[in-house]
Amino acid sequence: MKSLWNELDAAECENELELRVYSSRLLGGNPELVLHGGGNTSVKIRETNLVGEEEDILYVKGSGWDLATIEAPGFTPIRMAHLQKLAQLESLSDTQMVNELKTQQTIATAPTGSVEAILHAVLPYKYVDHTHANAVVTITNLPTGKQIIREIYGEDVVIIPYVMPGFDLARMVAERYAAEATDSTRGLVLMNHGIFSFADNARESYERMIELVDRAERYLKGRSAWVIPQHYTRSENRLELKQVATLRRDISQAAGFSMLLSLDCSPEVLFFCQRPDLASISQQGPATPDHVIRTKRLPMLGSDLPAYIEAYRNYFYLNMPHTGQDMSMLDPAPRVILDTGVGMFTSGKTVKEVDINADIYRHTMQIIQRAELAGGWTALPENKIFEVEYWELEQAKLRKGGSAPELQGEVALVTGAASGIGRACVDSLLARGSAVIGLDLDDSVESMRENPAYLGFTCDVTDGSAVRDALQIGIRRFGGLDMLILNAGMFPGGCHISELDDASWRQVMSVNLDANLSLMRDCYPFLKLSPNSGRVVVIGSKNVAAPGPGAAAYSASKAALNQLARIAALEWAADGIRVNTLHPDAVFDTGIWSDEVLESRAAHYGMTVQQYKTKNLLQTEISSMDVAELAAAMCGPLFAKTTAAQVPVDGGNDRVI
């Protein structure tokens, strides 16, 4: 491991806190040291308060901030004098500790300081760095880990046995450091947890961390326990998407809310999943309790998930009898599932959570396998992991969490997603917490949203094979399908029946009707497996109720689609799938309505453009977002008991009425 310190960059820092930000980002940007908000850093600064008194302030990483991107407001200022008094107490509950941290902040709006703030305060150095360095965690999870750590570091570190983060850990660190630190001490190793370094300047503290971790890496490399060999067999059996959707449904039911599920079948994952000792090494626990992720090995996809969940429930009640009546605390759904033939599934309430779980477990795989090469993987006992998972602070955080977005953990497919109503539907669904699969002929659909919860595919909806390929990729990424927005369609130029040729008729029917039939048929098995019941919203047209001359193919195709939706509502109600239709009219912020076309049509009616755009009973303008918001609402709880509805979105049309 190499130092990335750059004196030119550091020279741009104007004060000690900015140097703290700079060196923290160096640590946070290295995944071998820090993952997804893990680790914490601090700096002690002497400041003058509002009444002219000087006091020592600990600036410690605040809750919710990531070291890779942290800024100065991400460090919480807490009065050192009070922290040091707290460290002298015989006992302090974690809830009380957090309250004390909050009441001693000098900036009320700052985030809550790290639960390790007292630990940082008792270390007599200006700068303190803490990471979960993979190499150090690997060695501390070996059967003789403590002995090896002592061999590697001698008196350069104080070794702290595992204690859950919080007041008890801070108190133990204070006692051990006072009793064992020497002039050469430059760090702490917390068994099964991570490593601290410290110094009186930012560069030295950072480079001590790099040097200490490099020693651990060199130890593993010297025992051929760093590079992991990879030999795996890719299953010849085609992955059954219905199995994936079924697994997602079962996980969601166990959790009590909709979950996303993503598959990783990369070579390194398959190699780990196909290890002959997977049953033992994957069930021992995480590399560090900071990365607790419930993991289940399944010999065959979904084969014994119910038994696993029942065993977890039993363990919960045996180990947490005081919470036996509080079912809200119990979420037995595994977040990682390892399948020998398929790979690794990770679940979560959001795509961000899914990806974090996957990233953490990929690193856990590395740590486990390096430990196996170095002498054997031995994680903390299960009861220690359980304590962290149902830690009072974690449960308080869950209870405080507030209401989730109404479509969180759900998946939608939108056709015609690159523009107009379809694009607006994508945005409305994303805003409500949904993951979205977008299809469109326009290749801009692939890059129109930089959001991990969005997948766009260039796809002709009349090409059944292309649609099914997109659906397969989407389900492998998100786990299933809950909502289908049938929006793609075509509106050909005006043509009277006497001049309408067969090819034009068939083209309109193919896009507006046949493609939607195929989509509904292909999506039905997954909508049926939706944890929260499937939903279909058809974007119809005012022309269904009030057709006009010159639009025979369009009007007939939309009327047939409307009839298809009504039949689907009848047939699919038994599966809990609801099917509703919106009939928009005069939506002018779409691609077909250029300024020139609008001016021409307005002139035809003897109106201004604004008058033409509002020529409805309410004299209001209809936008794509107006239609999209109602489409998204129809997928939410407000319409949970409505199916086969036909709702106009037109500002009032006397012919429709």
Cα 627–Cα 631–Cα 633 angle in degrees, nearest 5? 115
Nearest CA to 437 out of 483, 389, 498 is that of 483
* Residue 615 · residue 574 · CB < 8 Å: no
d(CA 227, CA 220): 9
Tokens standing for residue 545: 């109720």
Residue 172 has pLDDT above 50, yes or no: yes
Nearest CA to 628 out of 364, 432, 381, 398 is that of 432
Query: Which pLDDT score is estimated for 330?
Result: 62
Query: Which pLDDT score is estimated for 305?
Result: 59
- pLDDT tens-digit map of 534-589: 999 999 999 999 998 989 999 999 999 999 999 999 999 999 999 999 999 999 99
Residue indicated by tokens 């049938």: 486
Task: Name the pLDDT band for 107 (thresholds 50, 70, 90).
Answer: very high
Cα 353–Cα 339–Cα 132 angle in degrees, nearest 5? 45
d(CA 65, CA 355): 17
Q: What's the mean pLDDT in 303-331?
A: 52
Task: Name the pLDDT band for 327 (thresholds 50, 70, 90).
Answer: very low
* Euclidean distance between the first and the last CA atom of the chain, given in angstroms as a whole number: 73
* Residue 254 · residue 311 · CB < 8 Å: no
Residue 166 has pLDDT above 90, yes or no: no
Q: What's the mean pLDDT in 232-238?
A: 65
Q: Which of 390, 524, 554, 612 is catalytic?
A: 554
Task: Name the pLDDT band for 234 (thresholds 50, 70, 90).
Answer: confident
Query: Which pLDDT score is estimated for 483?
Result: 98
Cα 618–Cα 624–Cα 626 angle in degrees, nearest 5? 50
Query: Mean pLDDT of all residues in the chain?
Result: 89
Highest mean pLDDT pick, 290-304, 504-518, 595-609:
504-518
Q: What's the mean pLDDT in 499-528?
A: 97
Task: Name the pLDDT band for 314 (thresholds 50, 70, 90).
Answer: low
Residue 236 has pLDDT above 80, yes or no: no
Tokens standing for residue 346: 């990770």
Show the DSSP H helices in 491-644 as ranges.
502-509, 515-528, 552-572, 595-604, 609-613, 624-634
Residue 606 burial (10 A CB sphere; 0-12, 13-18, 19+) = exposed
Share of the chain above pLDDT 90, in %: 71
Residue 320 has pLDDT above 50, yes or no: no
Q: Which of 106-110, 191-195, 410-414, 491-495 has the lowest mean pLDDT?
A: 491-495
Cα 376–Cα 382–Cα 383 angle in degrees, nearest 5? 140
Task: Name the pLDDT band for 298 (thresholds 50, 70, 90).
Answer: very low
Task: Name the pLDDT band for 57 (thresholds 50, 70, 90).
Answer: very high
Look at residue 579 and give its three-state secondary structure: strand
Task: Name the pLDDT band for 445 (thresholds 50, 70, 90).
Answer: very high
Task: Name the pLDDT band for 402 (thresholds 50, 70, 90).
Answer: low
Residue 93 has pLDDT above 90, yes or no: no
Cα 177–Cα 169–Cα 141 angle in degrees, nearest 5? 90
d(CA 154, CA 132): 20
Residue 289 has pLDDT above 70, yes or no: no
CA distances from 393 to 49, 95, 396, 478 (A): 31, 7, 5, 30
Q: Any bridge partners for residue 265, and if so which?
A: none
Query: Which pLDDT score is estimated for 299?
Result: 42
Amino acid at 588: F
Q: What's the mean pLDDT in 252-273?
A: 91
Query: Which pLDDT score is estimated for 207?
Result: 98
Query: Which pLDDT score is estimated for 115?
Result: 87
Query: Which pLDDT score is estimated for 450?
Result: 93
Task: Name the pLDDT band for 297 (thresholds 50, 70, 90).
Answer: very low
Task: Name the pLDDT band for 451 (thresholds 50, 70, 90).
Answer: very high
Contacts of 424 (CB under 8 A, 6+ apart): 623, 624, 625, 627, 628, 629
- Look at 403 and 109; give whichever has higher pLDDT: 109
- pLDDT tens-digit map of 210-221: 999 999 999 999
Cα 535–Cα 539–Cα 541 angle in degrees, nearest 5? 145
Residue 281 has pLDDT above 90, yes or no: no
Query: Is 554 annotated in the active site?
Result: yes
Residue 496 has pLDDT above 60, yes or no: yes
